[in-house]
Amino acid sequence: MSANLEAGLRSGAQALGLSLSEGQIQHLLAYVALIQKWNKVYNLTALRDPADMLTHHLLDSLTAIAPLRRHTQGQSIQVLDVGSGGGLPGVVLAICMPELQVSCVDTVAKKAAFVQQVAVSLKLPNLRGLHARVESLTEPYPVICSRAFASLPDFVTWSRSALAEGGVWMAMKGKHPQDEIEALPGDVEVFHVEPLTVPGLDVERCMVWMRPQND
């Protein structure tokens, strides 16, 4: 793993105000190495350049840490990452917030298997990959997140059966998705839209927090 990648990760985490332990830094770098290793077999990402993986995958996913920490306040809770693919942001959340129990669900068996592989390789007992359609899940999760997964209406509709009472949805999106927000079911409330800045990427990103109104 190149020294450049490590330096980029350290400066990116610092720019995001995250104090990551040495172990967490090494885990994140090992995760990128696993993506590179398995990408040919599992087709996890279209990106091949480690520098692009750093900005578009790792640092992009790391922008979720501070908002999620503010929400969970250090509680040990279950988090469901929907349409996780190769585990973004779920694996990053599991590494950086060991108090969480993170389940990454994907309809593609190979991608769920890869997340399981990451959990074993990096010895992350708080991470698991699920091969399933999110609509079939009924175990309650207090936080359900997604990154570049589907439209907001589809995301909340498909994952609703898995949302715990009093739970929230956390959707990582590109530019402010006003059209999608307006198309949400009438009983879903957007209670916060948070702009996100990805170090090294000049793109618009935001996080949309939602909850059912008639819980």
Residue with tokens 């990454």: 104
What pLDDT is recorded for position 71?
Answer: 96
Q: CA 50, CA 48: separation in Å to the nearest integer?
A: 6
**CA 6/CA 177 separation, integer angstroms:** 33
User: pLDDT tens, position by position, for the chain (215 residues)?
Assistant: 578 899 999 999 999 999 999 999 999 999 999 988 888 777 777 667 777 778 888 999 999 999 999 999 999 999 999 998 899 999 999 999 999 999 999 999 999 999 999 999 999 999 999 999 999 998 999 999 999 889 999 999 999 999 999 999 999 999 999 999 999 999 999 999 999 999 989 999 999 999 999 75
CATH number of the domain bearing residue 75: 3.40.50.150
Q: In what order do the strands lie in the sheet with 205-212?
A: 127-131, 101-106, 78-82, 141-147, 163-173, 205-212, 188-196
- Quote the CA–CA distance of 196 and 214 in Å, as a whole number: 29
How many structural domains does the chain have? 1
SS3 59: helix
Report d(CA 142, CA 212) in Å as an integer: 12
Helix axes 22-42, 3-15, angle to 10 degrees: 120
pLDDT at residue 90, as a whole number: 98
Q: Which residues pair with 147 in a beta bridge?
A: 172
Structure tokens at 188: 């879903």
Task: Return the bridge partners of 94, or none.
Answer: none
pTM: 0.95
* Cα separation, 188 vs 38, whole angstroms: 38
Query: Crossing angle of helices 109-121/22-42, nearest 10°?
Result: 150
Task: Give residue 55's domain range.
Answer: 3-212
Which residue is listed with tokens 């992009």? 60
The per-residue pLDDT for 113 is 94
Strand segments (E) across 49-186:
78-82, 101-106, 127-131, 141-147, 163-173
